[in-house]
Amino acid sequence: MEMNFGDFEGRKISDILKSDYELYHNLWHHPEKFTFIPHGESYDDVIERARSFLIDLEKNHSQNSTVMIVTHGMFFIVLLATMLGMKKKDYIKINQKGVEGCSLTLVNLENGKYDLKYSYILQDDSEEEHYNADTVVTLKDFPKISMTLAEMFENVE
């Protein structure tokens, strides 16, 4: 699942910035000002898909179910923001912290409300202050499965 980037699909970011700087900038930094990419989706379109997905998810799984969702960056931002009831202008808080290539995020649904438990972003540069590639993650629901973040995100570029 991902946002339909319309006329931006298949283009280099450097080329998009030359022709559509403001539109691209608003997409990532000012979602409340973003309209839509020609032949693509608006945030409202993606929000509607995220809401529909969550309704189906809640309808088809019990409260105590464990569900793994794999998605791309922009849809992840909108999905998590929708779960947490965030306003569009605040989506950049997720964008700036959660979408740097890959992340593992755990969200619980309790009493009809989503609760963000944790979010790991792989930092595999040992010189980096927040290096965490050796961090071992064991999910409560899968106690026999443990792996480092580096192993989890192996082969992800």
What is the DSSP-derived secondary structure letter of residue 61? Answer: S
Per-residue confidence band for 101, with pLDDT thresholds at 50, 70 and 90 = low
Give the whole-angstrom CA distance, residue 142 versus residue 121. 20
Give the whole-angstrom CA distance, residue 116 versus residue 58. 16
Residue 45 in this model has a pLDDT that exceeds 90: yes
Per-residue confidence band for 65, with pLDDT thresholds at 50, 70 and 90 = confident
Overall average pLDDT of the 112-126 stretch: 72
φ and ψ of 29, to 5 deg: -120, -20
Q: Tell if the pTM clears 0.85, that is, is over it.
A: no
Per-residue confidence band for 92, with pLDDT thresholds at 50, 70 and 90 = confident
